[in-house]
A and B are shown apart, each in its own frame.
Chain A
Amino acid sequence: MAARAASAAAVASPGARSESISRKKRGRSVQTEPWVNPHLPHEAEIVERIDESEHVFTLKLRLANPAQHAAYRFAPGQFNMLYLYGVGEVPISIVSDPEHDDLLDHTIRRVGRVTDGIAALKAGDRLGVRGPYGRGWPLDALEGKDVLIVTGGLGCAPSVSVIQYMMRRRARFGAVTILQGVKHYNDLLWRARYEAWAAMPRTRVLFSADTGGPLWPWHIGPVTGLFEHIEPEPGRTLALLCGPEGMMAATVRALRGLGLADSAIWLSLERSMHCAVGQCGHCQFGGKFVCKDGPVFACSEIAPLFSVKGL
C-alpha cells in the first residue's frame, strides 16, 4: 500500500506531510516504496456511515493499523479498491480533503453485486482497502486559473475532493464555476455543501436536471444547457469533467465551441477494474491503462479515441 513510503517519510521529518502533498500536486501519486504485494488489501473499519439518498451512502473509513492510517496519503481524483468480504473489490474515489480530513470518505452508489453488499454494512464493520491508485486532478495546473467543473450524476464524487481542496485554499484560484447535472431532480446530493460553496467569493454553482419538478428552480435539460449562462475565458480557464461518457463527450464539444483547448479540458474516465495496478488489462483505453495512467486525463491525451463507441 502506498502508505508505506509516506510512512517512512513521515517518521523521518515533521515536514514530510506537506512535502508529500506538494509532490502529489503534480498530479502523480507517490509510489516510490519497494512494493510488497500490489494485490493485498488492508483491513479498515467503518467509523461512520451516512445515507445520502435512497441509493447513495458515504462511508468514513479508518485503516485498522494506526501507523498505516496516519501515513496514508492521496491526491484528489485518486481512488481506492474497496473489498467486501467474500464477494470482491470495486474502485471507489476518495472524496475526503487530502490535507484536512482524518478519515477516508467514499461516497458510493449501490448498483450491483459488490456495492449492494457494501451498502448493507454499518459503523464498526470491516472492509478491505488498497490504494490510493491512479493519477488525480492536475492541481498544479489549476493554481491561479479559473476553474469550470462540469459533473453528471454521481460523477460529482471524484470532483468533490478537488472542489473542497480549492475551497479551502480559495485565494489560490480564480473564478470557480460548478455545473452539476442530474437525471432526476431527486438525485441532487449534498445540497448544503453546494450552498456553502456558492457562498464563497467568486464561486458560482448552477444545476440542471433532465427531469425537473415543482421544487426545481434550476435548468431543465442536459447539463450543457447551462453553458449559455457562463462565459469561460479561453487561456485562463481549465475545465474538469466527470460523469457518464456521453455527457462528457457533449461537454467537450460545447467547451471546444467556447474556445477551450483540449489541453485545458480534464476528465475522469471509468472502466472495468480488477487489479488497479496496470496488470489485469481490464481498464485499457487505447494504449492507456485507466487505473494507472488515469483515471484523470487531459482531453488532448486521449483525443481522438475519446467518445469513439466501444473502445
Chain B
Amino acid sequence: MAKVLVVTSGKGGVGKTTSTAALGAALAQTGKNVVVVDFDVGLRNLDLVMGAERRVVFDLINVVQGDAKLAQALIRDKRVETLSILPASQTRDKDALTPEGVARVIGELREKFDWVICDSPAGIERGAQLAMHHADQAIVVTNPEVSSVRDSDRIIGMLDSTTERAKKGEKIDKHLLLTRYDPARAARGEMLRTDDVLEILSIPLLGIVPESEEVLRASNLGTPVTLSNPTSAPARAYFEAIRRLEGEKLDVSVPTERKGLFDWLFKRSVA
C-alpha cells in the first residue's frame, strides 16, 4: 500500500526541499520504491538539490495537463535506482495545476511507488494546499524560532481541515521535523527548546537535524546529504527519521554541543 507524504512548513527557507531530498533518498537507500514530487510550480528547486536539473524534459504540469505521460516525466536517480523525481515546471501560471489533474497523477504514482513524497511550496496558498491535499502523512518542518513555529501551527490547522482525509473525517498522521537546530545556542538558552516547540505544536517528534555545513555541501553537489555523507550528523538524523516514519519506536537523539563537535550524548524519548 503506497503512502503519500507531504513535506510542508508554511514558512520558507526552513529546509523543506533539503529534507524531501534527504528523506526520499534515505528511504530509497533502504530499498523502497520512492518518488519525490516537486509542487513548487514557478520556483522549482528539488531537481537542483537532487542533481537532476539537467535531465528535466517534461514536468508535473505537462503530466497534469496531459501533454506528457507520467513515465516520460519521471527522472530516475543515477545513484539509487529505486529513487525517482517528478520535477516542477518554471511556469508562472498559477492555475496550471488543476485539482483533478493532481488527483489523477497522485493516483498513478500510488500504483508505481511505495512512497510518494511531495515537496510543498512555502506559504498557505493554492500550491501548498494542492501539495497536502492527498497526503496520508505530513512532515511539518520547523526551525526553533518563533515565526517558524507560528507558521507551523497554522499549517497543522490546514492539514486538519482542508485535506482530503480531513474532509472524510479521517486523521492525517503529522510529524514534527526540527531542522537547523544549533546545540550550542540551545545550551545557552538562546534558542527555543525542543520540549517547548513540541509542547506548543503537540505533534510527535520525527527527528532533530542539526545546522550543518554538510547540508550546504550536499546542495552544492546536488546530492542528498544521506548519499553525500551518510555518517554525518544531519544524515544520521534523516536515517533515524525514516525508521520512525515506518513505525519504529526509536528514541530521538538530541544533538549536543561538545567542543564544537556534534556528539549524540543523551537520548530522549519521543513524545
Q: Are A and B genuine complex partners?
A: no
